Every structure is written in C-alpha cells, then in structure tokens.
Amino acid sequence: MAHVSKWYDDFQVLRDITLDVDHGEKLVICGPSGSGKSTVVRLLAGLETHQEGTIRLHGEPVDAQGRGDVGMVFQQFNLFPHLSVLDNLMLGPMRALGMPKLDAHDRAMAYLERVRIPEQAGKRPGQLSGGQQQRVAIARSLCMDPKLMLFDEPTSALDPEMIAEVLEVMEDLARDGMTMICVTHEMGFARRVADRIAFMDAGEIVEVEPPDIAFAAPKSERFAQFLDKILKH
Amino acid sequence: MKTVRLPLALLSLMALAACSAPPGTWGWYVIDPSTPSGWTNVKFLLRGFSSTIQISVLAAAASIIIGLFVALPAFAQSRWLRLPNRIYVEFIRAIPLLPMLFWVFYGLPVVLRSMGMNLSIDPFWGAVITLALSDSAFTAEIFRSGIQAVPRGQAEAARTIGLTRAQAMRYVILPQAVRRILPPLANQFIYIVKMSAFASVIGMEELTRRANELVVTEYRPLEIYTLLIFEYLLLVLIISAGVRWLERKMGADESR
C-alpha cells in the first residue's frame, strides 16, 4: 500500500501509510489503541474504504481480489452462531467457490484437524471456549485458500490460558509459509514469528524493523516508550 | 394459566352485570343453542369465522412478502435505493385503514380499468389487499430492525469468506434475524385479525358483518355483540398461545 490516507469526516485516521509486504512475509503491527492499526488491516480486507493512495495485492486493487483470497480473523471471532462449526467452515467453499458438498466437507475437516479440534465439528460456536472459537475462525478463513491472512487482535478477547493455543495455531501457519499481517500485542509471538514489526501511532507508521532490532534498539522515542510499557508486565 | 384468567374475569363480570340488571335487560334466547331459532342464529354467526380467518391469513402472508421486499432496499449502500423504502413506509403507515379500504374497493378498479385491465375487486380481495398493504409498512419495519440487530461483524465475516452481499443476507444475516423477527410478526397477525372487522363495511360476510345483520333482524345488539367479542377473543387467544409457544421455542434455541 502506498501513500494511503483515510478520514472519518474531519478526523484523519490514517496519514500517508506506505507499506510493502512480500509473499510469505510475516508482519506484526503494534501500537497504542486508536493508532489506526485495525483500520490498516480492515482496508486490506476490503471492509473499509480510503480516500487517498493505492492498495494493491499481487498487483491488483483490493476489490478485484478473488473471493476469499484475503482471509481475516477478528478479535470477536464473528463465527456464525446459527450454524454448526462444520457448516461455518463449509459455507464459504460451497457458496463462494461453488465446491460440491462432499469436497467442502473434506476440506473443512482437514482444516479442523489442523487447528486441532475435529471433535467439535458438530457443535454450535456458542458451545465452544473462546480459544476454540478463534481456532474455528482461523480454519474458516483457511478453507478459502487465502493468499494473505489478516489477524486483527486475535487474542485480545481471550482469557490468558487460551491465548497460547491460538498463538500456536498461528505459528504453525507461519511455518507453512502463509503471508500474514497480524495486529497484536503479543510481543513473544512477534519475536518468534515476525519478519518485521511495524509500530503505528496517531495514524502513522512510525517505524518498521526486524524484531531483533526493534526490541534491542528501537529508533524512535515513541516506540521505545510503547515497548517499555507493554513489556514491563 | 394467564391465558385462562382474562376471559374468566370478563365472564364473571358479565355474569355479574346480567344478575344485577333489571329483568328484560338480557335476552340470551336469541343465541341460545338449545332452541331451534337460537341455534340457527349461532350457526349463522359462527360461519363468519371462515372468511375472517381466510382474509387474515392471506393478508398476513402477503404482508410478510411485501414487507421483506420493502425492507431489503433499506440496506442498500446507495441513498437512492434506500429512498423508496422510506417513502413506502412513511406513506402507507400514514393512511388510516378505513379510507384505504374505500380507496382500494371503490377507487382501485377505476385506476385498473383506465390502464386497460378490466378487473373488478370483490369485498374479499378488497379486504385482503388493503390489510396486506396497510400491514406491510409495519412488517417492513419489523424486518429492518430485526436485520439491523444482527451484529455488523457477521456481515464482515461473511464478506471475508467471499460471500456476495446477497449470499451474506441469505445464509448469514436473515437466519439470525428471523428469531428476532418472528415474535413481533406474530403480534402483527393479531392486529390483522382485529382489523379484518373493517371488511364488514364493504359487504364482506365475516364475523362482524354477520353480527350486524343479525342485530338488524333480531334487534338484540347486546347479546349478539357480546358473542362477537368472544369470537374475536377466541381467535386472538389461540394466536397468542401460538406466539408464546414460538417465543419459548426461539428462546430455547438461542441458549444452545
């Protein structure tokens, strides 16, 4: 994305954002709340519009992407509560890709295995724990064979003991070479997985660094203060 | 139990009124099923049920279909697509039922004829069309609020797994909206049943019209209209029992 700016009425939420993510790269975006990091991810998912600049994925604008090419995992899971876990996963492949039911079923089960909850396939999302729901949400996105996975604070709504199981699944995914952009405050995850960490504040990208440099010697004062605050506890 | 208490209270009230009234106030003989003439009268009145029920059911079904199609444009992104929804709802909602009934029954055939369609509208269809139109503005609002109550994240999630807006509506939003929509929709049905009494003024032989006709020949308005009220009460109680059953079922489903 290049020189992207966005306003809500008079309020500028993004200021001249320029960001390149390579195929297979893992980028972590962090920053204080209200810094615009969610907005960046939502723009890439095609859920928001912007006023200035260009966003391209594989050379194409966001709205020209194939159906389900950009997967998104939300803070609040957003599973479909009226459908079983299995039907949540099969809906996209069947309706958006026109896949036959049996194939969609096999694919859904394969991804449920991958997020390690095949035994929950018949349950409703409401019967699962938060961590399980978020893993189902990840599997639901994967069922569409996305080229890019976006994560918008995927562990922020979870109890501490469930964060690890979701992060593990995400690390698995990273090892398999998925291109990932994650908004998260899990700095341990960032250190282990990220190729680069982008720090955002007040609608700007302040700094983009590989994790070892970011944690050892952040260049900007704001990033240093932010890291200091969240690494303290 | 609540269902039973209200009619019981009403009954005892009337029994009280009957006992304390001077002799000659009540003349139940007119609808006494144990006498031949009373039984004939009762049968005449009860036969109105079939028209009242048919009109109500048809009007409710049509109102739901119209309401859905009026409600859906309210979710369009373009202001110009949303506009017809607002105009329809505000306009139809503002017309009192009786004037609309007159317009449909006496006016609409003239309009149709001028357009080359030689259709006459009989009292039955006049009543169905009017009730359906009048009610559709309310069902449209019920649909709209039910759909709006589904969290935004649901549509966003549907979008990220590649569903079109129409698919998201059909497979994700509407199934969730239905459980919020059904109870108020059923209440609206009670309203339709009661409003169908207006069909009597254009000559539809439903419950109210038959009561009126019998009053003219028997000159016993108190007893006949009392029975009429209980006829509607019976219908409405049956529907509300259905609504409560539905709400319980939905509630149970929700908690799963």
Contact A70 B160 (CB under 8 A): yes
Phi-psi domain of B117 (left: phi exceeds 0; alpha: psi -120 through 50; beta: other): beta
Q: Does residue B223 have a pLDDT over 60?
A: yes
Of A80, A95, A127, the CB nearest to B154: A80
Q: Is residue B218 classed as helix, strand or coil in its secondary structure?
A: helix
Q: Cα(B204)–Cα(B127) distance, rounded to whole angstroms?
A: 8
Query: Any alpha helices (H) in A115-210, and if so which ranges?
Result: 130-142, 160-175, 187-193
Read off the pLDDT of each residue in B14-32 and give the average, rounded to a whole number. Answer: 72
Which residues of chain B are at the A interface, by a Cβ-Cβ cutoff of 8 Å?
151, 153-154, 156-164, 167, 171-172, 175-176, 256
B162 vs A79, A124, A144: nearest CB: A144
The size of the A-B interface in CB pairs under 8 A is: 67
Among chain A residues, the shortest Cα distance to B153 is held by: A78
Inform me whether the pLDDT recorded for B200 exceeds 90: yes
Residues of chain A under the 70 pLDDT cut? 1-3, 9, 64, 66, 233
Q: What is the pLDDT of residue A50?
A: 83
Q: pLDDT tens digits for B128-145? A: 999 999 999 999 999 999
Has residue B28 got a pLDDT over 80? yes
Mutate to test the interface with B, among A41, A83, A89, A95 (most CBs of B within 10 A): A95
For residue B251, name the pLDDT band (cuts at 50, 70, 90).
low
Residues of A with CB under 8 A from a CB of B: 45-47, 66-72, 74, 76, 78-82, 91-92, 95-97, 124, 126-127, 137, 140-141, 143-144
Q: Which of B153, B159, B161 lies at the smallest CB-CB distance from A76?
A: B153
B160: closest CA among A110, A100, A69, A125?
A69
pLDDT given at position B256? 42
Of A46, A74, A143, the CB nearest to B157: A74
